[in-house]
Amino acid sequence: MGTPANWLGILAAAAIGFVVGGLWYGPVFGKAWQAARGISDEALREGFNGPLVFGLVALLNLFSAFILDHVLGTYGAPGLHLSMMISGGLALGFILPAMAVNYLFSRLSLKLYAIDAAYWLVTYTLMGAALFALR
């Protein structure tokens, strides 16, 4: 059956998506991501509905963190290393291959895939760490 939902950990894990994303697509890889997408600074700001986008991202991050917490709960009480391995493994085994299929058919660049895929790998691995730490 698993363990009860770890709501504090779920909230923290969901917030990690925002923190990592803000750094990843800001000062760390923001300009490289924009160039790989072919988006200018002006086009990035044009028509951007911040409240809608960030609100939906928050809900999606919460859902992902909830499901990740449930998956980790099926292992009982895994330690930090195992929680991070499972979380990173889910990203490597499911998210990154699914993204690769979409990127291949969309004819998007390997550079863009590497930036986006690495974001998800880092995010999920850190989400696993947060879910462990706040259990």
pLDDT the model gives residue 2: 61
| 61 token code pair | 């991050």
2 domain residue, yes or no: no
Work out the pLDDT band at 1, boundaries 50, 70, 90.
Answer: low
Instruction: Note down the domain range covering 13.
Output: 7-133
SS3 category, 91:
helix
Report the domain count for the chain. 1
Q: For residue range 46-70, list pLDDT tens digits in order.
A: 888 999 999 999 999 999 999 999 9
Burial bucket for residue 4 (CB in 10 Å: 0-12, 13-18, 19+)? exposed
Instruction: Write the CB contacts of 21 (distance below 8 Å, at least 6 apart in sequence).
Output: 57, 119, 123
Q: Please state, rounded to an integer, the average pLDDT across all residues of the chain.
A: 95
pLDDT in tens, 111-125: 999 999 999 999 999
Query: What is the per-residue pLDDT across 16-27, written as a single tens digit (0 to 9) for each?
Result: 999 999 999 999
Residue 73 lies in a domain: yes
DSSP 41: H
By percentage, how much of the chain surpasses pLDDT 70? 99
* 59 part of a folded domain: yes
Average pLDDT over residues 4-10: 95
Answer yes or no: is 1 within a domain. no
Write down the pTM of the prediction. Answer: 0.93
pLDDT of residue 44: 86
